[in-house]
A and B are shown apart, each in its own frame.
Chain A
Amino acid sequence: MEKFEKLTSVAAPLPIANVDTDMIIPARYLKTIKRTGLGEGLFANMRFKEDGSDNEEFVLNQPAYKDARILVAGNNFGCGSSREHAPWALMDYGIKCVISTDFADIFYNNSFKNGMLLIKVGPEELDLLMDDAGRGANATVTVDLEAQEITGPDGGVIKFEIDSFKKHCLLNGLDDIGLTMEKEDKIASFEESHKAAQPWL
């Protein structure tokens, strides 16, 4: 997994609450057996018109946000389906960090397992960042995971909280299957006592 340490980028505003994973990537793009190339379907129903051409009104199609790698979104981002294609699509498109007041649980876990940072901030801080993001190309935001800080275009700093295990894995690009396999002895001994307690399983 790719490491995440620090990121400076224009931030794209998406001030919609409850952006669901069907919006992030519609089901017709899930018919793949690969993890790559999903950026094509990112926000497809909003990004493209019915004839397939770009919808100029959608934030990521606006020239100011062409290179945005940070998304500032409304509450409960990533709700709905458990499809990991949602973080794959965001990452493949180039979005490495999403900031919101809250995220749906499954999407939150899926994102961290792919090296994407999700940051939860308070409602007032989100309003501030949404305004910053609205200023377009000249308003870059810096996210520093080690320091747990977001620095806005005017130098204002917002501190954020993050689970220490998730932070550790992201900073070091760790694959958690490998970490779990180091606990094989514990798993095997649990398995044995569990089998004794519930032999019908």
Chain B
Amino acid sequence: MSAPKTLFDKIWDAHLIDESDDGTCLIFIDRHIVHEVTSPQAFEGLRTAGRKVRRPDLTLAVPDHNVPTSDRAAGIDDEESRIQVETLDKNCQDFGLRIFGMDDIRQGICHVIGPEQGFTLPGTTLICGDSHTATHGAFGSLSFGVGTSEVEHVLATQTMIQRKSKNMRVTVDGELPLGVTAKDMILAIIGEIGTAGGTGCVIEFAGEAIRSLSMEGRMTVCNMTIEGGARAGLIAPDETTFEYLKGRPMAPKGGAWEIAAGYWKTLKSDEGAKYDIEVTLKAEDIVPQVTWGTSPEDVVPITGAVPDPADESDEARRNKMERSLEYMGLEPGIAMRDVKIDRMFIGSCTNSRIEDLRAAAEVAQKAIDKGRKVADHVDAMVVPGSGLVKAQAEEEGLDRIFIDAGFDWREPGCSMCLAMNADKLTPGERCASTSNRNFEGRQGPGGRTHLVSPAMAAAAAIAGHLTDIRDLD
């Protein structure tokens, strides 16, 4: 009998085309998602070299980073943004690729639409020129975020050159307490391992708390794997996965579904499989999380306070902490719950799916019931992840709840997660955000970001300051 394998080993082995003596591997890529920001130079490279797209049938394109989230009838105001979106259209036409254009109801954030369409499938290899490609790992798809050179490489050859990463497993045992979400779980994990904790690794997420998550929750966890520095995140597919995928437009149908599902059920780590690194957390210990600094590892429980750099012995880390606090305009020792906010953003490939919107809308409804609304000094925007998420939310009446509670209900796209379109913070503005990065200037130059879950974001918008969602009841 062969040695027990991890889930990562199994998917890797099933895609290995060639391995050199020095360990450099060539692997086959089953799925490729292309967006407008990291692809123009790749298509230009193909043109210059006279190369074609090897497998147009395995590629799906969508504009998301630059698209406006306000009324789109007038097109895109910003010339450079418009050129990028138009260039993607033209490249797809020239190279024969499927694209969900800005006016297509299926348009949305690339990491929302792949799963939504059933383009993302268990056991596949998937790449996209975006670091949050890790999201698709929620389906047991080995998914890598790459740069433009690798986008071009995959377009030209449908393969990727890579050394095999190490196996890391993060197990979350037990049951999450009430009010604690997948977002809090992944922030707590990053707080534990650090932003470079997963460097060189593929992380498999396991344990009862992970298994109990919905697909939306699993996507939130895998999405932020990159914030822990890992190459990819993976969760073994199970009935929850199959139930989500069945009937999706691009998922296999009929007899093909049965055969595929039979194979997918084998996609789990073998008993006794070896991991290079193991980390275990107890779900019961996790409380709602919030970031205080400018790296996702700068995270504390909402019940905590801004840490003091004086307590940090490592000089480089102390420098970074001091720099972060100055940037964030925070003093050590301030209770996180006392931090006043100016803006709130619900959206991004981390938290813009239907379940995220339901969680936020529930908080908004409670506020309405108590005669409350978004605080006067707070501007709160809700940006659904795709046209289909938006339509479903509207069918469920969530848009009305948001609007009645004083939130701004918008069109789908990446929006203020990275401020490439018109949605951005102005210098000094402080935002409770469901996105994935609190880097300096991420949501606009000088903007200050606190990462939280959708429910925590909505609660902060209503309270006017960061707040513990558990205090609402």
Taking beta carbons and an 8 Å cutoff, which residues of A are in contact with B? 15-18, 20, 22-23, 26-28, 30-35, 45, 50, 74-76, 79-84, 87, 102, 104-106, 109-110, 113-114, 163-165, 176-177, 180-181, 183, 186-187, 190-191, 194, 197-201
Contact = CB atoms under 8 A, between A and B. Distances in A.
Contact of B38 (A17, A83, A191): A83
Contacts of A114: 149
A109 B81 CA distance: 27
Given A15-B316, A200-B260, A20 B157 contact: no
Given A22-B439, A31-B80, A16 B316 contact: yes
B396 interface: no
Contacts of A199: 256, 259
B49 interface: yes
Nearest to B18: A186
B221 interface: no
Contacts of A84: 38, 41, 129, 147-149
Given A22-B442, A80-B131, A187 B420 contact: no
A78 B41 CA distance: 20
A141 B9 CA distance: 42
Interface in B237-280: 252, 256-257, 259-260, 263
B116 to A, nearest CB: 18
Contacts of B51: 177
B38 A23 contact: no
Interface in B434-472: 437, 439-442, 445-446
A82 B130 contact: yes
Given A18-B295, A106-B147, A183 B26 contact: yes
B97 interface: no
B24 A106 contact: no
A201 to B, nearest CB: 5
B26 A186 contact: yes
Contacts of B441: 22-23, 26, 45
Interface residues of B, number: 82
7 contacts: A15-B316, A31-B80, A32-B80, A76-B195, A113-B150, A198-B260, A199-B256
A194 B263 CA distance: 13
Contacts of A32: 40, 80, 84
B335 interface: no
Contact of A74 (B153, B316, B418): B316
B156 A181 contact: yes
A87 B149 CA distance: 11
Interface stretch (B168-176, B209-217, B317-325, B382-390): B317-325
Contacts of B49: 177
A27 B231 contact: no
B260 A79 contact: no
Given A22-B439, A200-B256, A187 B159 contact: yes
A14 to B, nearest CB: 11
A198 B200 contact: no
Given A82-B145, A198-B260, A177 B152 contact: yes
